[in-house]
Amino acid sequence: MFSVKVEWDFSTEQESLIIGLVEKPVKFEGYLAELDQLLDGHLTQLVKSGDISAKKKAISKVHTFGKIGPKRLFFVGLGKENGFDFETLKEAFGKVFQTIQDQKLQETTVLLDSFKSDLFEENDVAHALSESFALSTYRFKGYKQSSNEPEKKIEQLTVLGGMDQTEIEAALTVGYTYGKATNSARELVNLPGNMLTATDLANYAKSLGEKYDFEVEILEKEDMEKLGMGALLAVNQGSVEPPKMIVLKYQGKENWEDVIALVGKGITFDTGGYSLKPKDGIVGMKTDMGGAAAVLGAMEVIGELKPEQNVVMVIPSTDNMVSGNAFKPDDVITSMSGKTIEVLNTDAEGRLALADAVTYAKHHGANYIVDVATLTGGVIVALGNDTTGALTNHEELFEQVLESAVEAGEQMWRLPIFEKDKERVRGSKIADLNNSPGRDGHAIMGAAFIGEFAEDTPWVHLDIAGTATAKKDSDLGPSGATGVMTRTLALFVERFEPIK
């Protein structure tokens, strides 16, 4: 897929060459000066005339008519030299890779030096290049007969850089690993509910375990009954599909200490149960396992890069269906923790499944918990579709998660949990908790409920109801599943500093 060259010759035959261009007075240097000379100064003239644009994310194609090895030059506008950030760099790469893929070209070379600036080192540019290459060229194949036809895609990407070849290769590997794992999460979320049951999700986790030598544990319904996981079992009552509690363990330290738990909501389809969703709201509920996909994607990165951390991943998985045996409003259930729950809304099922998962993560020795879930429509009302909502009981843990999100380019904003919010979820007259105190502060109520099971363990909740899917294409991928929080969680694990 990738090859790195420190020295390169413009006589080398190639379908295309990608060049970054900053807005500044036209004066080509280094490789660009050589290229301009080989093309008889035409590049200078095309920049002056505006036929080659340096405006941010502008793509300009120039045919070379056999004067040099590359048949086409793709110039990528980088905008003003001091106004370019890392996320825009990834988007610029993504846009040009999509352009090349759409033109069915199968090989290209990137002139890495041309993308450097005072803001980025060459290995940072290499990371951005390979991550955006994976993200931007992803497509969900789907089930149309025409989709069985072989598609043309970029098969070979050569990177021409001036620094140490080993460093560039390492940066390319890490960036591509992050992008590819995000695509794995996207693929899971895009699958229809009848093709991704709890059993299928468990089998996928097993395959990761086998590939990366993770310890695997899959709890069956009988196991959950013995452990008293009444919250997850209640959600599963209406289904003909058996539930699964899915656990992967990665030990990167000598002793099982400072254990990070990644907990992902794995509701493979959500009808809302007897609190039935409306006909427009029920479409798309195959994506309600976006949290599970994110933590599985993060485990893929962990398996590839092997950080010196201890991680346990826990996914409670089932669908939420309607039947004569389904749980219903006014039921009282008992969670694994022993806390009783009055069910006021069967469509607030994710927090019930997560309650037992968080308790089970603590059973596995979790010292820190991050849960990820497509939990509430309320977070979309509060923050829109581009920002993940975050809530926590621990400032320092949250700061580490936030720093990782910023570096990953995934927007996040913190919402509060006050004591009165906790009182509302403890407001049942007949049980310890109620699962739905009302629509006001909906995202906060969902998180506050899960926090009752985290108790004193440092914990961060990430509500990805708005960010797990995108309604339109972007420079870094198509509409549909985004794989959001995969990269944030992987970075968080990689950079984690134990809290004293």
- What are the beta bridge partners of residue 332? 342
Q: Is 495 a catalytic residue?
A: no
**Class of residue 292 by CB neighbours under 10 A (exposed 0-12, middle 13-18, buried 19+):** buried
Give Cα separations from 69 to 39, 96, 379 (angstroms): 11, 20, 52
350: CB partners within 8 A, 6+ apart: 265, 267, 270, 288, 373, 374, 375, 446
Is residue 269 a contact partner of residue 297, using CB atoms and an 8 Å limit?
Answer: no
According to DSSP, residue 455 is labeled T
Give the span between the Cα atoms of 304 and 351, in whole angstroms. Answer: 31
Catalytic residue flag (residue 186): no
- Render the burial of 189-225: b for 16+ CB within 10 Å, e for the rest: bbbebeebbbbbbbebbeebbeeeebebbbbebeebe
Asked whether the beta carbons of 108 and 17 are under 8 A apart, the reply is: yes
Cα angle 8, 11, 16; round to 5: 80
State the catalytic residue, choosing from 351, 362, 424, 487. 351
Catalytic residue (one of 61, 72, 116, 277): 277
**Cα radius of gyration rounded to whole Å, the chain:** 25
Q: Are the C-beta atoms of 19 and 174 separated by less than 8 Å? A: no
Give catalytic residue positions: 277, 351
